[in-house]
Amino acid sequence: MTASPTTRRWSTLDGAAGGLALDLALYGAATVFAAVTAATSTLPPHRAWGTVATVGYALATLAVTLQLLARRRDPGTRLAGLPARWTVTGLTWATTALLPVVTQSIQRAAGRTDRAQEEVLVVEHAGTRLAEHGTPYLGPDAIAALPPGEQLLGYTPYQPGMALFGLPRAATDAWWTDARVWFAVATALALVALVATLRPPATGPGTPRRAAALLRAVQAATVLPVCALTLATGGDDLPVLALCLLALALAAAGRPGRAGLAVGAAGALKLFALPIAVVLICWAATRRAGARTALGALGLPVLALVPVLLVDSDALVENVLRFPLGHGLVTSPAQSPFPGHLIAETLPAGRVVAAALLVAVGLAIAVRLLRRPPRTAATTAAVCGYGLLAAILLMPSTRFGYLLYPIALLVLAPALALAETRIRDTGRTAFPATTRHDPVERRTPET
């Protein structure tokens, strides 16, 4: 299928100067963002991140500038090639995300109480409760008994699996037991698996394009300021995002069962992965692998819920359902000025209007999935990306940081499309046992 004008424009922008032009824009803008954050943020962990990250992004900007100059003198120089760009990306992630994680964790262990966002404390407390009581959740009576200023931290609005990242702190109080350290470890492992899944062969048709698209996808999940800042100061969204991206990569590689397990692991951490799981199951259904994918995608979150449901079902409902829906003892502080929040706060019956718009978008996506289910992993990523973007913009209570999900999903889509094109062009089939004679498999994948 012919690429759309948007895809062609993105390819032109992404490939300018061998990809270095967009690298320079990314790192330059990130340097400004980090510097402004360090100077103006009202959140101490964010200011601390900005101070360290400004240096890391500035060094990356300098490195890319030197690469561009080297490329101008010698277009074939290795200093401006993909391996060099990968090296700059890795070092930038280390200096703008991993180093701030370690620095803030050490400072916090030394007594700085302003070196972690509330979600870090929430996850660590959940890990302690899981170890001691078999459930990460406090019941409504226990939350009500807390001082008013501490009731918000009494809620754990995550799936039970998220508490696993708090177990190290339950065992011992040290810098390396900070939940962010383990968020970073899980994120790195998932991204390594993603790269291994989508990595093109050393030589062959389309190898440079695939490698460049994969690099761009990794950059979107690592060195993009919204991702680096989130990992360094809170971090709970990054393992969820990385597992969702891995699930889509496994889908592109023709491994629906493993894709289901990856997105199911993400869903066992946070409900944000559920829409991606649903769309992925719809993709798998076009390959006669819907049940196989759903087993992991829905089974793992359910399996994580069963033990805590048996221990205290009311606590589970209070934390996972009532609080996120705005019916808890306190309300969520997530109030980024997106359209949904502005509508809810300024219009008469604004919350009803915002909710109606959100439902309308959900119904539109559901109709799209029923009438034209995605037949490629790339289309699946695009549907998830645009759907989550619309939901984030229309939710009455949301955070700016949630934008990392649609951005990373949409930037990953070209890498998935190129990987699937190679599978089709080389004659490989991901599902020889079930779809060899299925006419659907002989259709040209969507782009």
Q: Mean pLDDT, to the nearest integer, of 311-335? A: 82
To 5 degrees, how large is the angle CA 244–CA 312–CA 275? 20
pLDDT category of residue 10 using cuts at 50, 70 and 90: confident
Give me the chain's average pLDDT, please: 88
- The pLDDT of residue 436 is 36
Q: What is the pLDDT of residue 200?
A: 85
Average pLDDT over residues 162-171: 96
**Pairwise pLDDT comparison (429 vs 215), residue with the higher score:** 215
Mean pLDDT to the nearest integer, 113-130: 94
Confidence of residue 378 (pLDDT cuts 50, 70, 90): very high
Per-domain boundaries in the chain: 14-110, 116-425
| pLDDT tens digits, one per residue of 347-366 | 787 778 888 888 898 899 99
pLDDT band at residue 1, thresholds of 50, 70 and 90? very low
Mean pLDDT of 193-201: 92
pLDDT at 345 over 80: no
pLDDT band with cut points at 50, 70 and 90 for residue 334: low
- Check: CB of residue 430 under 8 Å from CB of residue 293: no
pLDDT tens digits for range 18-68:
899 999 999 999 999 999 999 999 999 999 999 999 999 999 999 999 999
pLDDT value at position 412?
Answer: 96
Q: Which range, of 85-89, 154-158, 193-197, 201-205, averages the lowest pLDDT?
A: 201-205
Q: 429 falls in which pLDDT band (50, 70, 90)?
A: very low
Sign of CA dihedral 294, 295, 301, 306: positive
| pLDDT over 90 percentage in the chain | 70
Name which of 125-134, 198-207, 215-224, 376-385 the model is least confident about.
198-207
Q: What pLDDT does 2 receive?
A: 52
Band the pLDDT of 424: cuts 50, 70, 90. Answer: low
pTM over 0.85: yes
Mean pLDDT (whole number) for 402-408: 94
Nearest to 269 by CA among 175, 166, 174, 178: 166
